[in-house]
Structure 1
Amino acid sequence: MGRSSKDKRDIYYRLAKEEGWRARSAFKLLQLDEEFGLFKGVKRAVDLCAAPGSWSQVLSRKLRGKEEKSEEVKIVAVDLQAMAPLPGVTQIQGDITKISTALEIIRHFEGQPADLVVCDGAPDVTGLHDVDEYIQAQLLLAALNITTHVLKPGGTFVAKIFRGKDVTLLYSQLKIFFSSVTCAKPRSSRNSSIEAFVMCQNYSPPVGYVPNMSNPLLDHSYDVDFNQLEGPNRIIVPFLACGDLSAFDSDRTYPLQATLGCWPSRQSCKEKAISQTCQ
């Protein structure tokens, strides 16, 4: 199916075409890296739900580049569907809810854990926000579960999240495994979208925790009383709007003449409301 007229007008869609990215979502990861320095010191990275491969492209270009030691960098992309090959990226066509997939990732890393795990996966939205948020939450938890099998202590996990009324439950789960959890909204993510990204840094699982694919990480009932968490039980994480304010606005229409030459300076993200919840 062809792109809608809105997609064709979108400045990041056009820039992705000009720069050779497979999707406009590449700019989301680039802008997140500008703020958090995701790729510093990373030698082993995993891209979950990778197709069509824009985030794997970013990992390949940023981690391998033209350095002489690019052979030391290992990147694994995982998805149920196959995608076109990428230089320096090993593809696994598998299910992220299966232990066999986690074992295959570790095998490609020669027994070593990953430094970074990213996941831009999302379900086909139905337009029913409660349904979409629930399915996305389950996808995020599945990504987190396999991450506990392959990520090294102190590693970083980045994943898409749909902000909704139950988002506090996800934050509480993520805080169990990571000392630092931040909700970030890249400039290239449309303001009209409920998507954001959780930046989970310094992986430090509870003492004695054993990764297990059989049991869900978040076994809570989605009832009204339980979700109204208060006091110390309510998890509030920092919220960052990523992308310099002079950068292109993903919800604005720009003239077709806008080219790479008018690309604004890419500065680090500006903190908008450090104490504001992502709801």
Structure 2
Amino acid sequence: MGRSSKDKRDIYYRLAKEEGWRARSAFKLLQLDEEFQLFEGVRRAVDLCAAPGSWSQVLSRKLKGGAGEGPEAVKIVAVDLQAMAPLPGVVQIQGDITKVSTAQEIIQHFEGQPADLVVCDGAPDVTGLHDIDEYIQAQLLLAALNITTHVLNKGGTFVAKIFRGKDVTLLYSQLRIFFPNVTCAKPRSSRNSSIEAFVVCRGYCPPEGYVPNMSNPLLDHCYDVDFNQLEGPNRVIVPFLACGDLSAYDSDRTYPLQLAPGKEYSYVPPTQPPIRPPYQEACFLKKNNLLAKEPGPPPLEEAGPAPSYGSVLEPQGCPPETAVENVLASLSMSP
């Protein structure tokens, strides 16, 4: 498979490299912003699970722009467990979003002020077992929501990835505790074959007397599984929107390498390779044919020559011709 094959199969992967984005997911946030105007009036933004940094890039380009430094300057903080290459105008924290210390460090970078916008494009390494993937993603989203309650200003916005599974109403119920306006959105750059979508939660308003707590997050004890499995008008449904221009590229379609006449295709390498990814050692071993291989089955024993028709038809040392005649004679004598 040539290096240009993915450029044909994934148009947004190709466009991300050509436009200098670190990952194709940058287009998802851009298309969400087209629909919801997420960046309007934002001065402090947080990107959770930020690596490799495509959403932080979008925040930097959209919010910073030509803004200078000073007390009114836009501040952006990116948080991830993995190391990330530096970005202009973005403060990076290599930390755990389930720790109080991480929330305190975010507020410290904002000089004691809460954030106006929190985004999270984090997702687990999928296993292919949908129930497990949906559960892990749900736990990651709730962890992002929990730290958001520590750092988000009242009236702020929270955007996060979600896997739409059978228990997605439980997540909607949790989000509605803190946000009166919750919408599920699907950007055009997100494949139709994928169960991913994004929740856009606006108007942050925690319950009266609520104190953020990492060790004991607030849960919706009024959630009724049986009620939320009802259908039709009896079920509370979160609005669903498809984001992105209808004339934009289709993420599930294969495009030719030459998109426009007179514009010759040339391969563009990724903008920023991952820094010390967990799979780096495995890739090195595979590339150098050093991966351990399971021993194959033991070799078959040497077998003698295959028996000839003569040996099969030759009874008690008779010549083959006589044996064939005897068989034919017995067949003709049978009733």
TM-score higher than 0.5: yes
Deviates more, 1:225-234 or 1:52-61: 225-234
1:24 aligns with 2:21: no
How many angstroms apart in 2 are the aligned matches of 1:119 and 1:9? 26
SS in 1 for 2:203: strand
1:87 aligns with 2:88: yes
1:232 and 1:247, CA in 2 relative to 1: closer, same or farther beyond 3 A? closer
Q: Which amino acid aligns with 2:35?
A: E
Cα deviation 1:37-59 (Å, max 9, x = unaligned)? 00001000000000000000000
Runs of at least 5 residues in structure 1 that lack an aligned partner in the other structure: 263-279
1:72 alignment partner in structure 2: 73
Give 1:245 deviation, angstroms.
1.2
How many angstroms apart in 1 are the aligned matches of 2:57 and 2:92? 12
2:250 alignment partner in structure 1: 249
1:200 aligns with 2:198: no
Give 1:197 deviation, angstroms.
0.1
1:240 aligns with 2:279: no
Q: Which structure: greater strand fraction? A: 1
1:111 alignment partner in structure 2: 112
How many angstroms apart in 1 are the aligned matches of 2:54 and 2:259? 22
1:154 and 1:41, CA in 2 relative to 1: closer, same or farther beyond 3 A? same
SS in 2 for 1:107: helix
How many angstroms apart in 2 are the aligned matches of 1:85 and 1:212? 31
1:229 and 1:103, CA in 2 relative to 1: closer, same or farther beyond 3 A? farther
1:99 aligns with 2:103: no
2:132 alignment partner in structure 1: 131
How many angstroms apart in 2 are the aligned matches of 1:39 and 1:118? 11
Q: Which amino acid aligns with 1:244?
A: D
- Considering only CA atoms, is the larger Rg found in Structure 1 or Structure 2? 2
Q: Which amino acid aligns with 1:247?
A: A
- Whether the aligned pair in 2 keeps the contact of 1:79 and 1:94 (CA below 8 Å) is yes
Deviates more, 1:234-243 or 1:124-133: 234-243
SS in 2 for 1:72: coil
How many angstroms apart in 2 are the aligned matches of 1:51 and 1:133? 21
1:55 alignment partner in structure 2: 55
Give 1:224 deviation, angstroms.
7.1
SS in 2 for 1:23: coil
Give 1:215 deviation, angstroms.
1.5
Give 1:228 deviation, angstroms.
2.7
How many angstroms apart in 2 are the aligned matches of 1:232 and 1:106? 43
Give 1:241 deviation, angstroms.
0.4
1:190 alignment partner in structure 2: 191
1:153 and 1:225, CA in 2 relative to 1: closer, same or farther beyond 3 A? same
- Whether the aligned pair in 1 keeps the contact of 2:7 and 2:257 (CA below 8 Å) is no
Give 1:229 deviation, angstroms.
5.3
Give 1:244 deviation, angstroms.
1.5
Percent identity of equivalent pairs: 88
Give 1:258 deviation, angstroms.
2.0
Q: Which amino acid aligns with 1:55?
A: W
SS in 2 for 1:161: strand
Cα deviation 1:174-226 (Å, max 9, x = unaligned)? 01100100000000000000000000000001101110001244477x99757
Give 1:248 deviation, angstroms.
0.4
Runs of at least 5 residues in structure 2 that lack an aligned partner in the other structure: 264-335
1:14 aligns with 2:14: yes
Give 1:156 deviation, angstroms.
0.1
1:36 aligns with 2:36: yes
1:252 and 1:234, CA in 2 relative to 1: closer, same or farther beyond 3 A? same
Instruction: Give the TM-score normalised by the residue count of structure 1.
Output: 0.86
Q: Give the number of equivalent residue pairs.
A: 259
SS in 2 for 1:203: coil
How many angstroms apart in 1 are the aligned matches of 2:79 and 2:216? 21
